[in-house]
């Protein structure tokens, strides 16, 4: 269960942003999560609602998650395809010469809160 560690580092980053932006009470954090991280949304929410209490100004905030599909691109025929399993084989030309183009994201997109 690595959701706890992810939530912890997200809150650390969020707190830095909060201080930099002079925010007092955070109402909402929107994050973008690539499915590559194999995060269970419900577990993330539970962890978040538990851990936010340790961060001043985050007690009443809510977490919004936007999941991004894992997509790979074939370097041989340029075909782009979504993947559900860690098999990076181009379905078009069967090449293994592929790169992940999305799905590895893990970032805070927006933060809303009241200013001091
Ligand atoms: Zn291909």
Q: Separation of 70 CA from ligand 1 center, angstroms? A: 16
In whole numbers, what is the pLDDT of the chain averaged over residues? 94
Give me ligand 1 centre to Cα 98, in Å. 8
More reliable by pLDDT, 85 or 6 = 6
Per residue in 49-68, pLDDT (tens digit) is 999 999 999 999 999 999 99
**DSSP string across 25-85:** EEEEEEEEEEGGG---HHHHHHHHHHHGGGSTT-TT-EEEEEEE--EEEETTT--EEE-SS
Report the CATH number that the domain containing residue 62 is assigned in CATH.
3.30.2320.80
Q: For residue range 66-100, what is the model confidence (pLDDT) as tens digits?
A: 999 999 999 999 999 999 877 889 999 999 999 99
The predicted structure's pLDDT at residue 84: 81
- Give me ligand 1 centre to Cα 69, in Å: 19
% of the chain beyond a pLDDT of 90: 89
| Signed CA dihedral, 65, 70, 75, 77: sign only | negative
Write down the pTM of the prediction: 0.85
Using an 8 Å Cβ cutoff, are 33 and 105 in contact?
A: yes
Give 1's pLDDT tier (boundaries 50, 70, 90). Answer: low
Which residue segment(s) compose the domain that 25 sits in? 3-115
Ion ligand 1 residues within 5 Å by Cβ: 74, 76-77, 79, 90, 92-93, 95
Q: Number of folded domains in the chain?
A: 1
pLDDT tens-digit readout, 20-38: 999 999 999 999 999 999 8
């Amino acid at each position: 269960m690595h959701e706890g560690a992810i939530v912890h580092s997200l809150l650390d980053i969020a707190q830095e942003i909060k201080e930099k932006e002079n925010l007092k009470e955070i109402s909402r954090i929107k994050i973008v999560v690539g499915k590559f991280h194999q995060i269970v949304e419900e577990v993330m929410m539970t962890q978040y609602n538990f851990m936010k209490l340790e961060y001043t100004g985050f007690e009443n905030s809510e977490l919004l998650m936007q999941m991004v599909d894992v997509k790979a691109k074939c370097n041989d025929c340029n075909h782009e395809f979504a993947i559900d399993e860690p098999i990076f084989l181009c379905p078009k030309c069967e090449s293994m010469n592929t790169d992940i183009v999305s799905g590895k994201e893990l970032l805070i997109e927006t933060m809303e809160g009241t200013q001091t």
